[in-house]
Structure 1
Amino acid sequence: MSQTTLSDAAAHSEVGGVLIVGSITADLTTFSRRLPARGETILGDDFTLVLGGKGANQAVAAGLAGGSARMVACVGTDLFSNLVTDGLRAAGVNIDHVRAVGGPTGIAHIRVDDSGENDIVMVPLANSALSETQIDSAFAQHGATSKVLLTQLEIPWALTQYAIRKGREADLTVVLDPAPAAVLDDAIWPLVDIVTPNETEATILTGIAVTDEASAIEAGRWFTTRGARYALITMAAAGAVLVSADDVVRFAAIPVTAVDTTAAGDAFAGYLGASLALGYPLPDAIERAIAAGSLTVTKRGASPSLPHRDDVDALLASARQLTR
């Protein structure tokens, strides 16, 4: 951002406007006591088929957080297209700039074990058809009434970069969730206000093994040295650290029993973006995002596990009471 702060950016904008440029998938999730070894077949316990994708999940989370979520993405023309677009509409997400293209909708195959841990194979499919023209059109309609841009790495990197540059030109707060992690062009970091990797993603991006708070802070400084305004490293049960050029702020986790960690990061990003767009100071927005991620892991599935703001704010109030 050029001349404004995170909490008062684009003060002329519509309250809570969040533009999400990213992916939409149909999430096929299996649940089993453990994950199979290579070449092994095991019997599972349950199966779900729901709206997913990092972009869509973040859009739903932003809407549940009280923001005005506008999605920019592509879906296919297969039997999953109505499933995902109906899910976005039901969550109150604006899908004027979700384009249907010939072929299959993006797919994510997710496996979850009894500890709540998961592994995921995401196949972009229709997500690869997103275009600069489509992004331009969305910014033309929503850029002036949005405060925050959320984007991720499940669409082609060239288009993530393009969206980030458009966001900077429109003076939006640019939040990059760098997942699935890949080594990125250093030229992008000066255009990013907040980058939000977890330990694994921070390790891949920086080459610094993030195993504790000290190494998370070191990784955070890797981003800020290259121009990012803030690096917000999330560490699951160990909380999070917010690193800027001249400061480090620590945030505690909220203890919960994890059932499925899918979409926890998306809940975090969506609530962070919406809270900033609604005018929350950055530390308060981060605490709200942590509470949202904590509630998300207590339920199965991706988008169905994303919590409503009333539940998030109640959990956060309870957690604050315990620390007094």
Structure 2
Amino acid sequence: MSETMFHPQGADRGVLIVGSVTADLTTFSHRLPLRGETVLGADFTLVLGGKGANQAIAASRAGAEAHLVACVGTDLFQDLVTNGLREAGVNVDHVRAVDGPTGIAHIRVDDSGENDIVMVPLANDSLDERQVDEAFADRSACSALLLTQLEVPLSLTVHAMRKAHEAGLTVVLDPAPAQVLDLSIWPLVDIVTPNETEATILTNIPVTDADSAVAAGRWFVERGVRSAIITMAAAGAVLVSADETLFFDTIPVTAVDTTAAGDAFAGYLGASIVQGHDLPSAIRRAIAAGAITVTRRGASPSLPGRDDVDALLAFHVGREHGESGA
């Protein structure tokens, strides 16, 4: 089997997501304030977010069955987040309500679309091994791939990856928010998807261009990861595996809000793999999803449907062919 193929028998199976759910409070302003400064903003939104929820919604909108394992609170945000997940087609049988507040993300966005985020886990810290085990007992036989991140306790992320690895699922880790991880984690990971900042933190290799991105990708592969995808915003992405290195161009767009772009990428990547795409094809589809996401405001509301993604990808490929044939 090619190193860029992952469980093609999973075309009729789903994506299992273990991760976070938050209520996202976002402010939009001309620029972000300096330390100690107050600036007037232009707009404010309150929507469903969290990397786990966003990735689940992206996978669902990509056309895959998405099953989320997560915790929410019993506060006024509970209905906002759980109804949002259901309306997006995400299975929430293993989303557990716990006493206390739902996770919160405070996001600030400037006119260039760049953002900064403070994520407060709250209910997300209540995720436990029993809940993960119950979800795997219920869903692993009908799932082909695990998506997970680092917004829930690290021990739970590792536990979920180990369960998925033992069950033969493809394990995709979006290592955000980045933190230095024990080297024993990497053999459990089939695909890792850091951006350049996260790759720098994880590998201690400053990722500033394509060559350094390749070096970081090799660092992951040498430690047991099957494929590393380093995303570099406007500079595109690079795929590194044991037997190949491939470069992918970005799709030029005007960014409005970069929130959830990485989640769109991960969700579409996972969905495309279980739908039978090879890895390069899945990456191209994921890049198109991320490109659309940054042109829209908010986290979950910005995640595109598959018709929009496939149309943008077809247009971009057609334009490339037209330019090369001119």
Q: TM-score range by the shorter chain?
A: over 0.9
Instruction: Say which of 44, 56, 59 aligns to 1:59.
Output: 56
Per the alignment, residue 215 of structure 1 pairs with: 212
Per the alignment, residue 9 of structure 1 pairs with: 7
1:295 is displaced (CA, Å) by 0.2
Q: Within the alignment, does 1:175 sit opposite 2:172 as a pair?
A: yes
Instruction: For 1:14 and 1:234, locate their aligned partners in 2 and report how far apart those are by CA, in whole Å.
Output: 25
The answer for unaligned runs of 5 or more in structure 1 is none
Q: Within the alignment, does 1:194 sit opposite 2:191 as a pair?
A: yes
Instruction: For 1:252 and 1:77, locate their aligned partners in 2 and report how far apart those are by CA, in whole Å.
Output: 44
The answer for unaligned runs of 5 or more in structure 2 is 322-326
Per the alignment, residue 233 of structure 1 pairs with: 230
Say what the alpha-carbon RMSD is for the aligned residues.
1.2
Which one-letter code corresponds to 1:144 in the other structure? A
Q: Within the alignment, does 1:35 sit opposite 2:37 as a pair?
A: no
Q: Please state whether the residue corresponding to 2:12 is helix, strand or coil.
A: coil
Per the alignment, residue 71 of structure 1 pairs with: 68
Which one-letter code corresponds to 1:85 in the other structure? T
| 8 Å Cα contact 1:16/1:274 also seen in 2 | no
1:156 is displaced (CA, Å) by 0.3
1:1-324 mapped onto 2 (5 Å cutoff): 7=5, 9=7, 11=9, 15-324=12-321
Q: Please state whether the residue corresponding to 1:147 is helix, strand or coil.
A: strand
1:300 is displaced (CA, Å) by 0.5
| 8 Å Cα contact 1:6/1:276 also seen in 2 | no
Q: Please state whether the residue corresponding to 1:205 is helix, strand or coil.
A: helix
| 8 Å Cα contact 1:27/1:302 also seen in 2 | yes
Per the alignment, residue 324 of structure 2 pairs with: none
1:246 is displaced (CA, Å) by 2.6
| 8 Å Cα contact 1:10/1:172 also seen in 2 | no
Which one-letter code corresponds to 1:230 in the other structure? S
TM-score by length of 2: 0.97
Which one-letter code corresponds to 2:119 in the other structure? M
Instruction: For 1:304 and 1:143, locate their aligned partners in 2 and report how far apart those are by CA, in whole Å.
Output: 28
Instruction: For 1:238 and 1:200, locate their aligned partners in 2 and report how far apart those are by CA, in whole Å.
Output: 13
CA deviation profile, 1:107-164 (whole Å, cap 9, x unmatched): 0000000000000000000000001100011111110000110000000000000000
1:322 is displaced (CA, Å) by 1.2
Q: Please state whether the residue corresponding to 1:45 is helix, strand or coil.
A: strand
| 8 Å Cα contact 1:177/1:195 also seen in 2 | yes
| 8 Å Cα contact 1:230/1:242 also seen in 2 | yes
1:247 is displaced (CA, Å) by 1.5
* Percent of paired sites with the same residue: 72
Which one-letter code corresponds to 1:18 in the other structure? V
